[in-house]
Amino acid sequence: MEDNFTKLAYNVKAASKKMAVLSSELKNQALKNIAENISANKDKIFEANRQDLEDAKTLVDRGEITTSTFNRLKLDENKMRDMVQGVNDIVRLEDPIGKILLKRELDEGLVLTKTSCPIGVLGIIFEARPDVIAQISALAIKSSNAVILKGGKESVNTNKMIMSVIQEALKKTKGFPEDALVQVFTRDDVAQMLKQDKYIDLIIPRGGNKLVKFIKENTKIPVLGHADGICHIFVDETADFEKAKNIIIDAKTQYPSACNSVETVLIHKDFPQKDELILSLKEAGIEIILTPGNWHKEYGEKKLSLKYVSSLEEAIEHINEYSSGHTESIITEKDENAKIFMNMVDSAGVYHNVSTRFADGFRYGFGAEVGISTNKTHARGPVGLDGLTIYKYTIEGNGQIVKDYAEGLKSFHHRDL
């Protein structure tokens, strides 16, 4: 099995070299074919999803998956529409590959260029959410990366069907490399994937804390993602009541199992309508937990930890201590407080008077996302096309050697072009 997986990874790596030089036109044609084929086969995809949902009920009953994971599994007309729209949106985005990021003449006839290029081979491991396959495939194609996908057992039928539809579309795209997008299925495949540091350049996990922690502890390959989604909203003493109510309800109830759903609300003790606000949240079906015992708790359901604070500074201190670095928001009518909050809170997304649920590549106009990163590396927040690129330096010259510069015979003038 190890030999088989190594051969698979080798083939994907070889395909990635061909992906790196694909034209924008060919990549966009591949994406258009995928969008059209998903739309044409949506009934088949829905049928596969119904089978997964039926099987997943048993997994929930046995405690093998959580209710929030089950909720992420379901595809409906809205998700299908967004999936197709996300692919089409990526077609319209600028090609991120081959962009000149810097051009500098080091000396006469000696030119340095920094150019965007693909990362290479992405290993994507995700739970539930089968629509992730279309998002990641589209982003990988547009950014000229090859990808190995591993979904959860709870969505295996939907995953197989969506990938089958994508592969069918790619076969119709003349010149698209074979083996650029492959799917694997078993737990052993995950173990083998994590060993392939020779062929896989970046692992991106999309799932719960347990999954991400396991991956980080069991691979030498760089990992991009986040383990937790502990998002906060702070209601300061000047907050508008209607804004606070609507924003918190949206951030908790619109999709409670999402990683950008709010988990902790901090309320300034001098906010005059705090009792009315809490009552409104309860009426919206939210369970308020005043003494959680664990401020790192990610509920994934209609529950909120709540804490009263005495100052803006105390709110910021609490968030920086307990946040997972994902997304935070302040509800305030005082611009100075918003500015301080947004500058001092150390998270990938920091908002003013809006729901944390806006932390999403589709909503940011990225077309889609491969995930949300809380890393402080080349990509942070929702990771779209730019987050799937890296860069290389090239130098063009005419026989120059370092010795001449080291001995003072020549000197650099570093002129940006």
pLDDT of 202-214, one tens digit each? 999 987 778 888 9
Examine the pLDDT at 276 and tell me if it is beyond 90.
yes
Lowest mean pLDDT, pick from 154-163, 286-295, 362-371, 398-407: 362-371
Global confidence as pTM: 0.85
**What CATH number is given for 2-227+384-392 in this structure?**
3.40.605.10
pLDDT of res. 127: 81
Rounded CA-CA distance 243/249 in Å is: 10
Task: Using only the alpha carbons of the chain, give its radius of gyration.
Answer: 24
Lowest mean pLDDT, pick from 279-293, 348-362, 374-388: 374-388
The structure tokens 């197709």 sit at 84
pLDDT of res. 1: 58
CB 287 within 8 A of CB 304: yes
- As a whole number, mean pLDDT of residues 21-41 equals 97
- As a whole number, mean pLDDT of residues 278-286 equals 98
CB 223 within 8 A of CB 205: yes
Q: What are phi and psi of 75, to 5 degrees?
A: -100, 135
- As a whole number, mean pLDDT of residues 215-241 equals 92
CB 136 within 8 A of CB 181: no
pLDDT of res. 292: 81
Domain map of the chain by residue range?
A: 2-227+384-392, 231-358
pLDDT of res. 109: 96
Who wins on pLDDT, 60 or 399?
399
Rounded CA-CA distance 298/252 in Å is: 12
pLDDT of res. 377: 80
Question: C-alpha angle 24/28/29, rounded to 5°?
Answer: 120
**Percent of the chain whose pLDDT exceeds 70:** 99
Rounded CA-CA distance 254/261 in Å is: 8
- As a whole number, mean pLDDT of residues 309-338 equals 97
Rounded CA-CA distance 310/226 in Å is: 30
pLDDT of res. 225: 78
Examine the pLDDT at 367 and tell me if it is beyond 80.
no
pLDDT of 104-158, one tens digit each? 999 999 999 999 999 999 999 988 789 889 989 999 999 999 999 999 888 999 9
The structure tokens 């034209």 sit at 23
CA proximity to 141, closest of 373, 370, 381: 370
The DSSP letter of residue 118 is E
- As a whole number, mean pLDDT of residues 27-49 equals 97
- Which CATH fold would you assign to the domain 231-358? Aldehyde Dehydrogenase; Chain A, domain 2 (3.40.309)
pLDDT of 76-98, one tens digit each? 999 999 899 989 999 999 999 99
Strand 381-383 to 303-309 pairing: unpaired
